[in-house]
Structure 1
Amino acid sequence: MSTPIDISEDGGVRYLHFGSEWVQGAMRIRRPNALELAYTREMMAGLLLRDAEEWPRTALVIGLGAASLTRFLHHHCPQTRTQVVEIEARVVAAARQFFKLPDEDERLAVHVGDGVRYVMETERKFDLILVDGFDRNARAGALDTAPFYAAARARLSEQGLMSVNLFGRSRGFRSSVDRIITAFDDRAIAFPSCDSGNVVAFGAAGDRIDIPVAELRDRARTLKEKTGLDLGPTVTRLEQAGSLPGGRLIL
């Protein structure tokens, strides 16, 4: 049976649902290129960890949803070529009709297919891989497995980062983080849970990341001025959670 796709609106925000109360994506109608949901903002925290003027050159988005991450990259990161992989053609159609998915061009390609298979079979390398794929019951399936995470790491460049949306209040949350830590040889970090219960985890490949917290704050201010994306609160939460030992983010 195919998954129902529902659209709702409240307070100037349009939401995507897959036949349940779970919000699969959101867009503020008057600010379509902003990231409305907190976890989507944190998924872009890689912009604090690499040189945001040059990085990412290439991005892979697995799970289109309401196209929030895709719109943000296309609008605010003109240096980036983005490949989207979405398993459900009707989600792509809904994103085009209701969520201002940009037209495909030399900087954006959309492929309807299985994200796990794509990562396993492609020979392309990406600076950034964003994984945000769930079914109507908020299950990630094969996207949350050791073979997938290992394959994703192999597809990262020397500047590569993987960012994954996890449901922090689900029973499998710690197991998911452990799988990422193992696949990335301990070069991984899980951000403290958002109010929604989502947890964003990062895995790093290639060049070592070692950034003092003061520089993280400077980068967050610059990013906010440039794009409107405010990751200052994320840096504060990382500090409060003890995730920056010695006042540095090391990954």
Structure 2
Amino acid sequence: MNINISEEAGVRYLHFGSGWVQGAMRIARPFALELDYTKEMMLPLLLHPDDWPQRVLLVGLGAGSLCKFLWRYRPEARLTVVEIEPRVEAAARQFFKLPDDPRRIRLHFADGADFMIQSKQRYDLILVDGFDSNARAGRLDSLPFYLDCKAHLADDGLLCANLLARRKNFSHSIKQIEAAFDDHVIVVPSRDEGNAIAVASANQSNAVSPAPIFTELQAAAQHLRQATHLNLLPMLANLAASGHFKDGMLQF
């Protein structure tokens, strides 16, 4: 696999030998989330207090955007990153300012599906964003993998997965996540980049208790924006427009 770096208009991009963008960083704001889908993968932060999550698993490093954001703005979080290609870590450190903090960031070089099978840990949040040079997720988009993710989540834990909505197997991906999590899943509608984010809850009795109210999520989004400059208000409006709220409450 080739690893290439490009820059345009103040943004640095990571590629795996193709035109697919595997990560991006605005050079002037290295800890900000640049791509829309990475911003939307922070939806779980609106569903819990500021001291959540404590334990995070990130499957796929890329340019390190999600890892860096959580490292910066969730200082109590311990971050475990699984990356199959060591050269991706080297690129993230050299070109994308991945912090050198072994106390809080633990890197494992392994296949994400194998790691999930072997791991004994449970996590508050699992973020899945792993693709090869042809934008294929392989075993990271399968029912066994999603079931393993569910088994490694805390009781109130959440899985957040990046899916490519433009691929012909997108609906199949959603069905597999729904099967693994007994339909406790919401899908953030795809935007121009072609990514769609699925958030699944491990809490089978009540996906998120109590069910989040739209106005409360708006307040949480405003608070997050003040603290981190990340604006998730447009995403909430997108969720509302696509029917994810019933009687003002978010439906998993």
Q: TM-score normalised by the shorter chain: which range applies? A: over 0.9
TM-score (norm 2): 0.97
Cα deviations across residues 94-114 of structure 1 (Å, max 9, x unaligned)?
101101011032111111111
Cα deviation code 1:21-46 (max 9, x no counterpart): 00000000010000000000001110
Deviates more, 1:146-155 or 1:103-112: 103-112
Which residue, 30, 33, 36 being the options, matches 1:35? 33
Aligned to 2:135: 138
Q: How does 1:42-191 map to 2 (within 5 A)?
A: 42-51=40-49, 53-191=50-188
User: Could you list the runs of 5+ residues in structure 1 that have no partner in the other structure?
Assistant: none
2:195 to 198, 201, 206: 198
Normalising by the residue count of structure 1, what TM-score does the alignment of the two structures yield? Answer: 0.97
- Aligned equivalent of 1:240: 241
Unaligned runs of 5+ in 2: none
Runs of 4+ in 1 over 4 A off after TM superposition: none
Work out the CA distance in 2 between the residues paired with 1:150 and 1:122. Answer: 13
Aligned length: 248
Looking at structure 2, the residues matched to 245 and 37 of structure 1 have their Cα atoms a distance apart, in angstroms, of 29
The answer as to whether partners of 2:244 and 2:251 remain within 8 angstroms in 1 is: no
SS where residue 103 of structure 2 aligns?
coil
Q: Does the CA contact (< 8 Å) of 2:16 and 2:133 recur in 1?
A: yes
Residue 219 of structure 1 pairs with residue 220 of structure 2? yes
Q: 1:208-250 deviations in whole A, cap 9, x for unaligned?
A: 3111111110100000001111100000000111111222113
- In 2, the alpha carbon distance for the partners of 1:113 and 1:208 equals 30
**CA distance in 2 between partners of 1:126 and 1:55 (Å):** 11
Cα distance in 1, alignment partners of residues 231 and 97 from structure 2 = 22
